[in-house]
């Protein structure tokens, strides 16, 4: 989880990833940031994220992103 948060902070600093649950809804992560994050997650965790996964439920918080990563890792 810390690893994930450091990835997020490197791509899009100035957001509170510990508590924020509206990263998509409040447009804190725009599409550029999302794709950058996906690229890093795929490299870091050896997973494949398809467009079907890009929904607010999976990206609105660091926790949600982590849960998606764990699910895709199997």
Partner 1 sequence: MSFVSTAFIIFVILCIAGYYLIPKQYQWCWLLVFSYIYYLAAGPRYVIFLLFSTVITYVGGLRAEQGSKAAVPVVLLLDFGALAIIKYTNFVLGTFVGIAGIEFHELDILLPLGISFYTFQTAGYLLDVYWKRCKAEHNFLHFALFVSFFPQIMQGPISRYGQLAEQLCAQHTLDIRRIESGLYRIAWGFFKKMVIADNAALYVSAIFDNYMTLRGYGVLGVLMYSAQLYADFSGGIDIVIGIAECLDITLAENFRQPFFATSIGDFWHRWHITLGTWMKDYVFYPVSLSRWMGNFGKWCRKHFGKNIGRAMPICVGNIIVFLVVGVWHGPAWHYIIYGLYNGLIIGISGLLTKNFRSWKKALKINDKSAGFKLFQIVRTFVLVNISWYLDCAGSVGQAFMMFKDSILRFRIFGDIIDTYYTWSGSQEVTMACIVFGCIVVFIHSLMKERGVDVRAALLDRPIPVRCVVLFLLLASLVLIGNQPLSQGGFIYANF
Using CB under 8 A, list all residues that contact partner 1: 27, 30-32, 35-36, 38-40, 42, 49-52, 54-55
Q: Which is nearer to partner 1, 21 or 43 (CB)?
A: 43
Q: Which is nearer to partner 1, 21 or 27 (CB)?
A: 27
Cα angle value 43/32/65 (rounded, 5°): 55
Distance CA 15, CA 30 (A): 12
Q: Which is nearer to partner 1, 21 or 30 (CB)?
A: 30
Q: Where do the DSSP E strands lie in 1-74?
A: none
């Amino acid at each position: 989880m810390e690893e994930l948060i450091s990835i997020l902070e490197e791509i899009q600093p100035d957001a509170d990833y510990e508590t924020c649950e509206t990263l998509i809804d409040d447009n804190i992560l725009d599409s550029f940031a999302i794709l950058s994050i996906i690229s890093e997650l795929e490299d870091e965790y050896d997973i494949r994220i398809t467009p079907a996964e890009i929904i607010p439920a999976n990206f609105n918080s660091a926790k949600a992103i982590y849960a998606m990563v764990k699910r895709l890792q199997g």
